[in-house]
């Protein structure tokens, strides 16, 4: 059994249904995209690493990217204005831990066969979405999210870079419907008709920033960490299943009391949204409470 068949077998054993292989090379197309983004000042502070690292411009030891998708359910519900919530991706258990634990099995297996292997899950210099695209795991939407034919946009991405060589996937011969619904639903105009995306205007990014100006504060709504509007409205996501149970991050703002950092971590530490800590969470909550109080006085 060759290395590819062995790795595929292991990927299935640890529970991955969607995975692919992308060849690591100098991605000139991606480099041009990033230079254009920086020129227009669309890059956010969360995009770490320089363009050379993202595009593998310099010679490096890795030949392949093993890319996996981990699906999650979307949360959608009619809420009264006294209830706050966080976005679907962040209301799930911390996917960083789940993905890393699963990928560690594959990484250890590769290393046992004499290959190098390094795990990447979010918060790194890679463009994981682009690698998933190159591996044939999805196509780009107008909102710049990747769309998988089975998971829609509701999935997390994990990557292992390795010097093992595989049969590589190809980008899908499929495109976004370009209906414009995501553009119309975007609260702050981050999605552009031109096809560009300004991450600094994305409400999901804004809700997680450390410092907000008054205009940005106006964008804080019931979803106080993240924003799912462009995903919920997307017709490519119509078939994605909803969460059928109440999730803890639904919080009645009149029952919420100030928690110590230790209490916050104990109550919410298992959820992905807690990565920004209590301070950001409570700031956004208070902004929404103030807006609601003003509305109720009218």
* Residue 197 near residue 191, CB atoms below 8 Å: yes
**Which residue carries 């979307």 as its tokens?**
74
Which listed residue (17, 94, 108, 122) is catalytic? 122
Cα distances from 114 to residues 8, 24, 63, 131, 282, in angstroms, run: 17, 19, 14, 24, 48
122 is annotated as an active-site residue: yes
**DSSP assignments along the chain, one per residue:** --HHHHHHHHHHHTT-SEEEEEE----HHHHHHHHHHHHTT---TT--S-HHHHHT-S--S--EEEEEEEE--B------TTEEEE-HHHHSB-HHHHHHHHHHHHHHHHHHTT--EEEE-SSSSS-HHHHHHHTTS-EE-TTS-EEBTTTBT-EEEEEEEES---------S-------HHHHH-TT--B-TTS-B-GGG-HHHHTT-S---HHHHTT--SEEE---HHHHT-GGGTTSPBP-S--TT-EETTT-----HHHHHHHHTTBGGGGGHHHHHHHHHHHHHHHHHHHHH-
**Which residue carries 């990033």 as its tokens?**
34
Residues involved in catalysis? 122
């Amino acid at each position: 059994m060759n290395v590819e068949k062995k790795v595929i077998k292991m990927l299935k054993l640890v529970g991955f249904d969607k995975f692919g292989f992308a060849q690591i090379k100098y991605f000139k197309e991606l480099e041009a995209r990033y230079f254009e983004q920086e020129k227009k000042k669309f890059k956010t502070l969360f995009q770490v690493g320089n363009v050379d690292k993202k595009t593998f411009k310099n010679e490096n030891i890795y030949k392949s990217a093993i890319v996996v998708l981990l699906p999650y359910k979307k949360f959608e519900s009619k809420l009264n204005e006294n209830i706050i919530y966080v976005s679907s991706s962040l209301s799930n258990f911390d996917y960083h831990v789940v993905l890393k634990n699963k990928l560690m099995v594959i990484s250890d297996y590769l290393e046992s066969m004499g290959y190098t292997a390094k795990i990447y899950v979010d918060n790194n210099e890679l463009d994981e979405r682009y690698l998933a695209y190159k591996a044939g795991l999805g196509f780009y939407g107008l909102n710049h999210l990747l769309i998988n034919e089975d998971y829609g946009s509701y999935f997390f991405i994990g990557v292992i870079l390795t010097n093992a060589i595989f049969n590589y996937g190809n980008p899908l011969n499929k495109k976004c419907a370009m209906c414009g619904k995501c553009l119309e639903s975007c609260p702050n105009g981050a999605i552009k008709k031109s096809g560009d995306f300004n991450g600094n205007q994305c409400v999901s990014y804004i809700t997680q920033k450390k410092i907000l100006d008054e205009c940005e504060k106006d964008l804080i709504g019931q979803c106080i960490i993240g924003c799912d509007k462009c995903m919920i409205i997307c017709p490519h996501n119509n078939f994605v299943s909803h969460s059928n149970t109440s999730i803890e991050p639904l919080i009645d703002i009149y029952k919420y009391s100030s928690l110590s950092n230790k209490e916050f971590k104990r109550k919410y530490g298992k959820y992905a949204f807690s990565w920004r800590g209590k301070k950001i969470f409570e700031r956004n909550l208070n902004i929404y409470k103030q807006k609601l109080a003003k509305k109720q006085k009218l």
